[in-house]
Amino acid sequence: MANQNLISLEQDDRIEAAAARLSMDRREFLQFCAALATTLGLPQGADAAVAEAVATKKRPSVIWLHFQECTGCTESILRAEHPTLEKLILDVISLDYHETLFAAAGHQVEAARKTAMAENKGKYILVVEGAIPTRDNGIYCKIGGKTAIELLTECAADAAAVIAIGSCASWGGMPSTDPNPTGAKGVDKVLGKPVVTIPGCPPNPYNFLSTVVHFLTFGALPAVDHLGRPKFAYSRLIHENCERRAHFDAGRFAMEFGDEGHRKGHCLYKLGCKGPETYANCSVIMFGDAGAGTWPVACGHPCIGCTEQGVGFTKPIHTVAKLKNIEPSAFLPRIVEEKGVGASLGSAAVLAAVAGAAAGAGAMVAKNLGLSHKAEEMEQAKKEGSKATESTEV
């Protein structure tokens, strides 16, 4: 099926069955697969491979751990719509362990985790939500009698892939801010090896879904940057594709919340927007799938840089961002240039006097510099003459 044209799959019975499971018609399902392939930056024809994987391949087993976090990552997945994202994710994966979504509790839950790990050894995906406390041997977070460190190490040992979802799991997030009393760290620091990170507070659920679909389609996780972030989602600054970027380039900024520039949708850079130093695709795919304007900047609030370590939860929200690639020119005209009324006779006279004084001072400085230079030359000549005399006497 992967070598076929996507449109030709519209009549395939397997596509129809997959679409029915997701409460979609076949055309919507194929459009969804094409959108995923585009999001991942895959070449032409890969959309058919994505459709094949979602429709026919065995769903990978997923063990989902919770540590120091607010469960916002899970909540964002459950609240996405059009199509219902949690239905898509739960159809693409087999969620065999998830403390928040399990109806069972206690020993039954832990037994389900161990069974899933044993039956899918070397094949399951481990998803970690939340930071891992490491101080005092990790006693500040225990589940089923085990510390977060012990549980993470045990589950990661036989996992085919490890995904850290959210900023807390990716690099410590909010729990790791100073003074970090529990010694909270990201997953990679505890395991001592690279993992795929999907930062955000919460992250966009489509970034997680696309990552899993890539694994399902090709048996490997997508290309990542030096921080383990999928390049398809975190390779560009938010600022580069922001809907307010034109205002930034033109030098039009909101200076206060509620002022004229803010009401007109001008750039929020001077209100502390961290888009110029934050890598994410928020400005491209929005958030929550609820239509246009569903991300902080479009709603009128500066980006806080939640996906970027050293920015989110570290820099004050309204501190001006460090520009990583471009700065607005100071010489660009404003949207409306004020017209001058000319100088009065009095102000012109004062200006002339100031200019005359400055010119006179400049002339004196030049004269003094010249005298000083001549004095230095004379002094140097005296020294050289003295040395020549001494040499002759010897």
Binding residue numbers for [4Fe-4S] cluster: 70, 73, 168, 201, 239, 242, 267, 273
- Cα–Cα distance measured from residue 125 to residue 136, given in angstroms and rounded to the nearest whole number: 29
Which residues on adjacent β-strands are paired with residue 129? 66, 165
The answer to whether 121 and 60 have CB atoms below 8 angstroms apart is no
The DSSP string of 131-166 is BEE-GGGGTT-EETTEEHHHHHHHHHTT-SEEEEES
For residue 14, report the phi and psi dihedrals to the nearest 5 degrees.
-70, -35
CA atoms within 13 A on the CB side of 206: 25
Instruction: Output the known binding site for [3Fe-4S] cluster.
Output: 282, 303, 306
The pair phi, psi for residue 71, each rounded to 5°, is 70, 15
**Binding site per annotation, positions:** 70, 73, 168, 201, 239, 242, 267, 273, 282, 303, 306
Which residue do the tokens 């391949």 mark?
A: 57
CA distance 304 to 214: 29
C-alpha dist (Å) from residue 28 to 31, 34, 207, 347: 5, 10, 19, 72
Are residues 195 and 163 in contact, defined by beta-carbon separation less than 8 angstroms?
Answer: yes
From residue 26, give the alpha-carbon distance in Å to each of 6, 11, 21, 320. 11, 8, 11, 48
Q: Exposed, middle or buried, 184 (CB in 10 Å: 0-12/13-18/19+)?
A: buried
Host H or E run for residue 185: strand 184-185
